[in-house]
Structures are given as C-alpha cells and as structure tokens.
Amino acid sequence: MSDHLLSTKGFTRDRAVALLDVAEDMADTQRRQVKKLPTLRGTTIVNLFFEDSTRTRISFEAAAKRLSADVITFSAKGSSVSKGESLQDTAQTLQAMGADGIVIRHSSSGAAHTLATSGWTRAGVVNAGDGTHEHPTQALLDAFTIRKRRHGDDSRGRDLDGLRVVIVGDILHSRVARSNVWLLTALGASVHLVAPPTLLPTHTEGWPVTTGIDLDAAVDDGPDAVMMLRVQRERMTEAFFPTAKEYASLYGLSVARADRLPATSLVMHPGPMNRGLEIAGAVADSPRSTVLEQVQNGIGVRMAVLYDVLAGDRAA
C-alpha cells in the first residue's frame, strides 16, 4: 500500500509491474456482467478538478464507483474556488467532510504534492495532472496498453525490457511525457523524445532519454511505439512554432509517416487530439492506434491505483 500517488519518478521496476498486475486483475473484473467490487465500500473519494478534463475525470469516477466508494466530483467552476478560495481552505473543508481520498487535477505544478504534505488533509492523494509536471496514472495506463498489445493475456509479471518508445511533440508542456519518461524507463524501455527545439525542455540532461528534432529519422528507426502529444496551446504564452501547417508537416504523424513504421509499431495519444495537427485522423483511427484502448485501460489502472492508495490500513 502507498500513502499517495504523486509521481512516477522513483518507481522501481517491481513496483510498476506489481501495480500493472493489479490493474490486470481489475480489468478482468470489468469483463464480468456485474462490474462492481465491494473493496472500497464506506470510503469517500473526492475528485477535485481545478482544470478541464473529460477522460481522466470520468475514468476516476468510474473506477471509484466500481470499487463501491462514494464519489463526490468537484469542479472548480461553480465552486467557491472561483470566489478565490485557496487550495488550503478547499482541502480543509474536504477533510472536515470526511474525504478518505482526493484525486486532484490542478494547473500548478506541485499542487498534488502540496496537498499531500501540507497537513491540511489526511486523505490519500492521487495526482490526476499537475501543471506541466506529472500525470502518473496516464503513464501507468500507457505502459499497461503497450504491455497488453505485446503480450495479451500473458502480460502479468512482465516489464517493457528492450522496447523502444518515441514521444513526439509538445514535450515542454507535457506532464504525460514526464511521467512516461520515468515509468517506461523504470520498466526497461528506452525513450527517445522528438520535438521542435522550442518545445524540448532545456533541462533534459538528467533524464534517462535521448532527444532529437527529426521525426522522420525517428520513424525510420522502427520504434515499437510512437506516442504523439497534444499541442497544448492553453499553456503557450508565446509562439513556439511559425504556423500550424508547418508544425503538422514537420512533427505531425501523417499517413505517409505512419506507413513507414513497422507493421507492429503502436501509435498512441493520451487525448484530447488535435486531428490534422499532431496526428492525422486516419492514423488515429487505424488498427495500430491504441487511443481508445488507452481510455478503456484507464479504468482498470485507476481502480488499481485507488486500491493501492486507499485499501488496507487507511480504509480500516
């Protein structure tokens, strides 16, 4: 059991494999007619979303409900946060209402960590995306998806040793990229980052990755998976590339580029997609694309994470 899930940095191979194996068990239960497990009965989980979300919010809600937790979803719009209430007051209010778990998405990097270490709440905290920092459950569902496509029902106990993953696009603003760098490499995969120079972070020296600016070269290298990232315009305070057309032509995964990948290479995207910008619609909808599997796998993975953080000592 872990107290919180804030980051994938520091994950060991064994911890990652164990969590993915629990996610396999959870996913198995989701193929039954009765999908609900009694595991977190009597537990209250608050989904605290200060930033927009479709997939992640619904996925956490479904995961918590399928574990029989009581779920309260709180979005900052329409709450007292829009009146200027601080994270501290919000957290203390939730503590007073008896939240056992808080799933938080926030535009500030470090918000989940602050909540977990502040003493404002005793709830287990799960980071559902903090600014440009981390999005650990997305990385876990991405790793789960790669493992599942590779090994199918024989996935349990396996890591991603020797697999080569290319992550492409707006790395600078991407918490998905950061969490995947730590998790995929902990699982034994190698990670190559490709982006225009303006969208590559300047401080990747300590990261266990290689970097480049040439998508064609990365494609021709025959990677096992290509993970496309959304161009996050809402986080851009300046112009990072001249035009959308130029970005698409240099860094978009077009049909022509995807056709040059080995037949077994996966194409991934965390969503929401800018079709025609970072990924062609036809590629997103092609058999090698895992976009919808990623969404589906997210539920079992989040059930595993909520179980890990909330079952056992805390629930008792």
Chain positions contacting ligand NCD, by CB under 6 A: 55-56, 129, 135, 138, 175-176, 230, 232, 270-271
Q: Which of 110, 98, 48 is nearest to 76 (CA)?
A: 48
Q: Which of 55, 65, 158, 288 is catalytic?
A: 55
Binding-site members for carbamoyl phosphate are: 55-56, 105, 135, 138, 271-272
Q: How far is the CB of 175 from ligand NCD (least distance, A)?
A: 5
Binding-site members are: 55-56, 83, 105, 135, 138, 175, 230, 271-272
For ligand NCD, give the closer residue by CB, 121 or 138.
138
Q: Which of 135, 164, 257, 269 is catalytic?
A: 135
Decide if 56 is catalytic: yes
Q: Which of 77, 83, 203, 243 is catalytic?
A: 83
* Rg for the chain, CA atoms, rounded: 19
CA–CA distance, 66 with 45 (Å, rounded to integer): 12
Cβ neighbors of 243 (< 8 A, separation 6 or more) are none
Q: Which of 4, 57, 66, 105 is catalytic?
A: 105
Q: Which of 44, 56, 121, 145 is catalytic?
A: 56
Residue 116 has φ and ψ, to the nearest 5°, of -70, -30
Q: How far is the CB of 22 from ligand NCD (least distance, A)?
A: 21
Q: Are strands 101-106 and 70-75 parallel, antiparallel or unpaired?
A: unpaired
Helix, strand, or coil here: 146?
Answer: helix
Helix, strand, or coil here: 16?
Answer: helix
Tally the residues of the chain: 316
Sign of CA dihedral 54, 55, 60, 61: positive
Q: How far is the CB of 154 from ligand NCD (least distance, A)?
A: 28
For ligand NCD, give the closer residue by CB, 30 or 109.
109
Decide if 133 is catalytic: no
Q: Which of 151, 145, 136 is nearest to 15 (CA)?
A: 136
Q: Which of 67, 118, 24 is nearest to 315 (CA)?
A: 67
For ligand NCD, give the closer residue by CB, 100 or 105.
105
Using Cβ positions, the residue closest to ligand NCD within the complex turns out to be 230
For ligand NCD, give the closer residue by CB, 13 or 55.
55
Q: How far is the CB of 176 from ligand NCD (least distance, A)?
A: 5
For ligand NCD, give the closer residue by CB, 129 or 252.
129
Decide if 135 is catalytic: yes
Decide if 264 is catalytic: no
Q: How far is the CB of 51 from ligand NCD (least distance, A)?
A: 7
Long-range CB contacts (< 8 A, 24+ apart) of 27-35? 27/297, 27/299, 27/300, 29/66, 30/66, 30/299, 30/300, 35/66
Decide if 55 is catalytic: yes
**Residues known to be catalytic:** 55-56, 83, 105, 135
